[in-house]
Amino acid sequence: MLNKFSGIAALCVLLACSTNSRADDIQDANKLLKQGQTAQALEKVNAFLATKPKDAQARFLKGLIVNEQGNAAEAIQIFTALTDDYPELPEPYNNLAVLYASQGQYDKAKVSLEMAIRTHPSYATAHENLGDIYAKMASQAYDRALQLDKSNTATQTKLALIRDLFGKSARVAKPAATVVAAAPVAVAPTATAPSVTPPANTQVAASGNTKDDVLNATRAWAAAWSAQDSAQYLSFYAPEFNTPDGMDRAAWEAQRKERIAKPASIEVTLAGTQVTARDTENASVSFNQNYRASHLKTSSHKTLVWVKHGTQWQIVEERSGK
């Protein structure tokens, strides 16, 4: 179950071609990994990252290597950092989900897969993995139901069906850390990559961890902005949001809609995110925001103040500068 781990080849969907010298280094490390020479592969990748520490493909490959070495905690750190720096890539989210699921953290796995699908709706692997997560969570619920009522034959049947499904899947599963050789690639912004966001007022599923939920809400806010979905983007702002310069809310929304719709493309990425939780219903997140549109490119430091309304996190204040 949930063994669809994304390899280097998957990144080709959202990354562009590279120089030959860079390609050779990544291909060599990739070959070493496939041959089971993880120590040599890691050494080569670390040498490459010493000169290009932000390279997405090299960092992604390092995550695969350290996971193959059995260091899931470091792999989680690597893939999490990649989602911060390159939120438009679905593969790091998918691999985070596989790692979380292997630790029994199904809520976190579910949130990560939802983010992968939000950034790249045609990513079949994430959809399949999300189905496995739903099935596993259903299995746990049926188990609890049977503990309370062992005579419930309907629940017994449902549980048996799910276990049979997992048993069949396990027999045809591929190794979790399989890496497929691919053409060398390098990071290139892909503001025009296809993306679909949920309807307005939908939020990322809660994990029960305030910092994780706020961080995922912030990423979803940036994804909606990048997708130029003004309805989804505005749904993240609470009714009591402090509009700039005391502007009327309707006028502010109209202005935001116009600015979101005007460019031919928009890409918003976040880096260095830091979440501060006051309690379970109040938190703030600070980050460096990189905005790239068809006519403009800017970078700034921003802080969003979030409040939980029911099951949804919404923005009540937005500040620029440190």
Tens-digit pLDDT profile for residues 228-254 = 888 889 999 999 998 887 888 998 999
Give yes or no: residues 222 and 172 share one domain.
no
| Number of independent structural domains in the chain | 2
Give yes or no: residues 220 and 164 share one domain.
no
**Of the residues 186, 202, 219, which one is the last residue of a structural domain?**
186
Tens-digit pLDDT profile for residues 292-305 = 887 788 888 999 99
Distances (CA, A) of 173 to 2, 5, 93: 9, 11, 20
Give yes or no: residues 127 and 17 share one domain.
yes
- State yes or no: pLDDT of 20 exceeds 50: no
Q: Residue 34's domain is classified under what CATH number?
A: 1.25.40.10
Give yes or no: residues 169 and 23 share one domain.
yes
Give yes or no: residues 131 and 12 share one domain.
yes
Beta bridge partners of 17: 185
44 falls within a domain: yes
200 falls within a domain: no
**Of the residues 120, 151, 186, which one is the last residue of a structural domain?**
186
- State yes or no: pLDDT of 144 exceeds 80: no
Could you tell me the pLDDT band of residue 142, with boundaries at 50, 70 and 90? Answer: low
122 falls within a domain: yes
143 falls within a domain: yes
Residue 212 half-sphere exposure toward CB, CA atoms < 13 A: 14
Tens-digit pLDDT profile for residues 179-192 = 332 323 333 333 33
pTM here is 0.49
50 falls within a domain: yes
116 falls within a domain: yes
Closest of 38, 27, 82, 33 to residue 60, by C-alpha: 82
Instruction: Count H helices and E strands in the chain, helices first.
Output: 11, 6
Give yes or no: residues 214 and 182 share one domain.
no
Give yes or no: residues 125 and 273 share one domain.
no
Distance CA 83, CA 255 (A): 29
Give yes or no: residues 96 and 147 share one domain.
yes
**Of the residues 186, 221, 241, which one is the last residue of a structural domain?**
186
Give yes or no: residues 26 and 173 share one domain.
yes
What number is the average pLDDT over the span 7-14?
49
Give yes or no: residues 19 and 148 share one domain.
yes
Give yes or no: residues 241 and 143 share one domain.
no
199 falls within a domain: no
Who has greater pLDDT, 136 or 231?
Answer: 231
Domain that holds residue 253: 210-320
Distance CA 270, CA 220 (A): 11
166 falls within a domain: yes
Give yes or no: residues 137 and 58 share one domain.
yes
Could you tell me the pLDDT band of residue 150, with boundaries at 50, 70 and 90? Answer: low
Q: Residue 286's domain is classified under what CATH number?
A: 3.10.450.50
- State yes or no: pLDDT of 207 exceeds 60: no
Say which range, 37-51, 149-163, 182-196, 287-301, has the weakest mean pLDDT.
Answer: 182-196
Greatest Cα pair distance in the chain: 66
| pLDDT at position 63 | 92
Could you tell me the pLDDT band of residue 157, with boundaries at 50, 70 and 90? Answer: low
